[in-house]
Amino acid sequence: MKGKDVEEVIGYAMGLEEDSIIFCYQIMEVIKSDRARKLGKAIVGQEKQHVLKFLEIKGEWVDPLRDRRELFLGTILREVMG
């Protein structure tokens, strides 16, 4: 992902079928600013907590970020571009 432009990153991220934590780490590979990296790490930590809670409730794996990828990307891109 390093060296890709914003459109390529968005296109790649929106097409991912992987779980949210892997997705977060892959997007963080392209983040350069410390502020944005801290935000990304906080989101990953929060998603890990969500995953554990869903596993406890449902007893099965779920992807808690699947429906929020666009919002996540918007937040990260604002930090990177800002």
Is pTM beyond 0.75 here? no
Q: Which of 73, 77, 18 is nearest to 51 (CA)?
A: 18
63: Cα separation from own chain's centroid: 11
Mean pLDDT of the chain: 62
Side-chain-side CA neighbours of residue 45 (13 Å): 6
Residues 6+ apart with CB under 8 A from 81: 6
Task: Report whether 20 contacts 47 (CB < 8 A).
Answer: yes
% residues pLDDT > 90 (the chain):
0
Q: Give the whole-angstrom CA distance, residue 37 versus residue 59.
A: 31
